[in-house]
Structure 1
């Protein structure tokens, strides 16, 4: 009768259930120090937390369904094959054995004793009911495993969670809410069949599938996130318990399939919520998702792209530069202007006071030229050391590339890390910048520990164009979709909303100086097309968002936890709305092999002459051209 001791760390898995009950909290009789005669569903109870937490329970019967042999949080799952028929109570448990691999196998009939604990993967997250300091007796082998719960379309409720500041002790209602459905089957075996991949394989050997393939489906096989009210409850993370040397994890892209059965115990993780720890993996079917290429550019059109290049520095491998350069030169079609985000200093995360990024940008422009693109020039402003957030020591910032054969940059000296750019009315009624490049209100509280927007003045065919590249504050600190607070608090919105207000005010100043100014606001705004930050930029006659002209299921350029969502945007002055041709060029986010975690975007338009004397007939004549 082997015995292994548990500490306070665990691996995460969960399980799922069916139908609804009008649940009421479990009430338990006074519990003795060691409780015998119980079954797993008694320990699990009808809320997320066990009524036996902190108590020792003895001789729980069940059959081992899976063993986790990896990492320092090893253990095994066992499940009661009989059950009580109550959909609120899980029939599975995880036995935590720390760093020791338990000497049990799937199919072993066991009796397990141990201390009931609620393990939390992090603050604000749900907990996992498990046994620690456990001992067990194996009564037999090769028993039939309990049947896995089938997750067919319609099984998981569309409503995501009950409301509450802390839903941990609320009665479970698995027929009404997805998070209750998953929690009520924690640690039980679940099964998906012919599952479509909605989140590509990540560096940690995990991917996302959907149990609801018809819900908010994108044309390329993903699941679109288009509302705070719909978290897409059918998303489900898949990891593997199979021997890694015998069954390598599939390298899957969005729209691929795990054909046949994928099943295993359901666990809960701080990284994405509920996850199947697969003991059987469906066969990976590569459906050949194509990478996108931007459409052609017409005479008289200026092309402006935005691209988050994911912590690029001169310390990055040459392969990173080559992949990004190929995307710019080929997939984006060598835009006239490229607004870049996540350019780091010349030694990347090394924290030695370096803030310059010339070598980083030189390597990128050289790689673009080698890939057959133009000989780009670049402009940027070095930030103050460790003042702009991002990876510590990286001194992340925004930058411009531009093709001098197509467009010129209007250099006005004086812009630095702390000097704000201002707008004035220049010759001929055109708006001009006091410094170019320049930073928008760099001393404002909204930009503390965050990237400052970079404004630049360009000239294209005699017309002035003002471009602002942005990288708003991240969503770090927001409560997760799958946490205990429902709906989750989005605390990071406060800073982004303030940032959006400052950028909107700058755009308004340019348009006040010249109502016909060509203004482009681009970059990683770190927020959704339906968010308050985007509303602040576009409401009440503000900037125009051409993404809104796309069908809702196509408004995305980033994937997170199986949700296809929009973080990057290109906005234009309202008088340019009819003159734009906009594309999201899908080369990264949906693929396991990628140059960045963001898809770039490109906008092509015919600039206005940019003076108060602009004839409205020109605006009508150069309206947005039709494209077949």
Structure 2
């Protein structure tokens, strides 16, 4: 509690407010979870201060210029506080706030100044210096903590000198706001009103009456007294800042629509499960969660038995079905499937469902069918949380006891024995566990892709997730994308090389590789070199391919295949902007004259930046920029139909990240142009290469035209990336030194965020003489010539067997080839 009279006496004795000069200082600093950010100012002088000439400035991330300037408004009476806060802070902060802002406020590494008429009166941090994450140490630091100025501590009017908050402030846990705005209370000589009856066993408001039968409490803003049992406590450093209560059996109303559980936001209150507490507090709605905050009084009423946890199942029967269990302990008799682990390393959470969820337009048509499936997916979704607000936890809790490179939890694995409190935060229903869940690895890693038949030529497609190599000489980091340091690049390279070697492909199409040309220090040259001496890359003879930061590329085993003719690209609309330029090259096996043209692509993403008109999200499930991608598919098909590489090769394989799911217009356009979607046709429409928001689908495709389709013997998706937690990638930021080691392995798993696609082909390796024996009698003679001429004259020569020179066409050149093959006989 602030002792304002002592503050004033010390301030006056120090000359801080002599002659009535204003002496306003930063008396409290709240760097809480989410948007719980606030600054408290204290008027230490004898006169009221008008804030018209006062302002706050925030210098973000070591900047020397302010990124935020706020003109303060209002007056501060002598010895009173003024609280400035974020407009999206919790109700307990907003209840004492005098002024708010919707702009992003400070983090622990941002400097703050308080100015009057341009002169600095107080400051926190050091302008122009980025301390990393915070200034200070231990409990007295500027990150995830509350700081309160010690009585008599002088203002810091030099924001450029070195800074140590412990010289001025005492530290308190994150989200501790018990004292915020306290000097504003009382002071008028009036008697406080009589408090609520805190006698244990006296009348109290039932929890079900507070929760009500809707999605918000009917008692919001009212002060109530609740007497109930503590079911789960989450009051440690970085945790939820309170505890959950449940009604005793005798206090329940047996109405299946109303919940009997409730969260109490009380960061500094100690509690334990089974404790019977009587609490006086205000009913608030915080981001959709009904809670009690702030707490005005609390009494310990002993202990009581908790009723059994409620049995619930997924999917929910309706969008509001979970409301009936908000804040209550629940248990799932079913095993749930892990659908997403994207936030596991960052927030300690997993997305679960009753079954694997798929992107609607992966499996059904865009429009009403996709909308219906999206609604069904939303009902079959639950976040398994870790009971905290911590970011980048030192111990990532799942799978039990913690995540590591060798102990992973993959999408498709199952979780059983789930029990905990059903909570609602950040727009999601969450389970805050009360017991360790049990993980079953049902989606096992495989050491190599599983192709049923490898044929004699394997082509792969691989999005390499921003492979940028700096200046190619081990410097110029951080890069525009990808690795931030040379060490990160080495880690990224090792994972990609491990994955690509295990593919054992002859040709690999690349997406998201740095668009820095084709010199010996380019990114594609470095990747090919890292794979070994047998690897080469396609150089289209350009300084770079298009103007985007990333591009597509082709690498191949020069000891197995050779390029035929020159590479080709398409730079006209719709490949001049948005869609990356395609790259086409014809290849053949070294022991064969039978070729294939491989075209690698990367269409415009679904992100909605600057999307307008038809390119905006139409609500049909296809996302933004769908017409741009569809135009690309149509233009690509037309280009390829006219012998794009000029080699006369009729076999064409389209691969790459098309940023379109299987049922969407761009893929349908290619199919309507005669291309066979190999992943969907051979593996089914539930084959996937990417996971987004807990839903799986194929953004990466391989499509063969009709002449090539008959040579396709197998296709596969190697699930090494999309199902793995992103915490296992090469990146080192937001990880402790221990995690940088324990979460990383130079293996294929999480080498990227997209899974590679493989296609196995059986190319013709027969000799010219073997192809010229049309009747199969072991001799090349006049009968073979007659067979060809008759077939040609009567229109049957479109059979592949008559394409003797294997150039993709059946014509008189084949008759000449027949005579050439016959000559030695």
What TM-score range do you get, normalising by the shorter chain?
A: 0.5 to 0.7
Q: Counterpart of 1:328?
A: 500
Contact persistence 1:544–1:577 (CA under 8 A): yes
Q: Counterpart of 1:376?
A: 536
| CA distance, structure 2, for counterparts of residue 357 and residue 546 of structure 1 | 35
Q: Counterpart of 1:543?
A: 675
Match status 1:573 vs 2:710: no
**Structure 1 segments unaligned to the other structure (5+ residues):** 12-33, 121-126, 158-175, 347-353, 389-394, 413-434, 479-486, 623-628
Matches within 5 A, 1:199-598: 199=339, 201=341, 202-204=344-346, 205-210=348-353, 212=354, 215=355, 226-227=363-364, 228=370, 229-230=372-373, 231-232=376-377, 233-241=379-387, 248-249=401-402, 251-259=408-416, 261-270=417-426, 273-286=428-441, 289-291=444-446, 292-295=448-451, 301-314=456-469, 315=483, 316-330=488-502, 332-333=503-504, 335-344=505-514, 358-369=521-532, 374-379=534-539, 388=548, 395-409=549-563, 436-439=568-571, 441=573, 447-448=577-578, 451-460=579-588, 461-462=592-593, 465-476=596-607, 489=619, 493-512=623-642, 517-538=650-671, 540-550=672-682, 552=684, 554-580=686-712, 581-592=714-725, 593=728, 594=749, 595-598=751-754
Distance 1:411 1:579, change over 3 A: closer
| CA distance, structure 2, for counterparts of residue 614 and residue 266 of structure 1 | 70
Structure 1 or 2: more helix by fraction: 2
Contact persistence 2:361–2:661 (CA under 8 A): no
**Structure 2 segments unaligned to the other structure (5+ residues):** 1-29, 37-87, 92-195, 198-202, 365-369, 470-482, 610-616, 729-748, 766-791, 805-825
Deviations 1:421-476 (A, max 9, x none): xxxxxxxxxxxxxx7244463665xx44xx51422222324455443323334444
Given candidates 247, 252, 256, the residue that maps to 1:83 is: 252
Q: Counterpart of 2:168?
A: none
Q: Counterpart of 2:261?
A: 92
TM-superposed CA distance for 1:142, in Å, is: 4.5
Count matched residues: 502
| CA distance, structure 1, for counterparts of residue 412 and residue 642 of structure 2 | 47
| CA distance, structure 1, for counterparts of residue 510 and residue 692 of structure 2 | 21
TM-superposed CA distance for 1:217, in Å, is: 8.8
Given candidates 124, 130, 133, the residue that maps to 2:291 is: 130
Contact persistence 2:230–2:274 (CA under 8 A): yes
| CA distance, structure 2, for counterparts of residue 102 and residue 574 of structure 1 | 71
Deviations 1:501-522 (A, max 9, x none): 2222221232255997333222
TM-superposed CA distance for 1:224, in Å, is: 12
Deviations 1:267-292 (A, max 9, x none): 33448x32212121123444571314
Given candidates 156, 159, 164, the residue that maps to 2:315 is: 156
Q: Counterpart of 2:224?
A: 58
| CA distance, structure 2, for counterparts of residue 356 and residue 116 of structure 1 | 66
Distance 1:303 1:147, change over 3 A: same
Deviations 1:388-424 (A, max 9, x none): 4xxxxxx233222222333344675xxxxxxxxxxxx
Pick the structure with greater CA Rg. 2
Q: TM-score, normalised by structure 2?
A: 0.53
Given candidates 329, 339, 348, the residue that maps to 1:189 is: 329
RMSD value, Cα: 4.4
- Relative contact order: is structure 1 or structure 2 higher (C-alpha 8 Å, sep ≥ 6)? 1
| CA distance, structure 2, for counterparts of residue 403 and residue 90 of structure 1 | 63
| CA distance, structure 2, for counterparts of residue 262 and residue 110 of structure 1 | 27
Distance 1:225 1:505, change over 3 A: closer
TM-superposed CA distance for 1:338, in Å, is: 1.2
TM-superposed CA distance for 1:365, in Å, is: 1.9
Contact persistence 2:246–2:261 (CA under 8 A): yes
Q: Counterpart of 2:209?
A: 42
Q: TM-score, normalised by structure 1?
A: 0.68
Secondary structure of the 1:237 match is strand
Distance 1:548 1:287, change over 3 A: closer
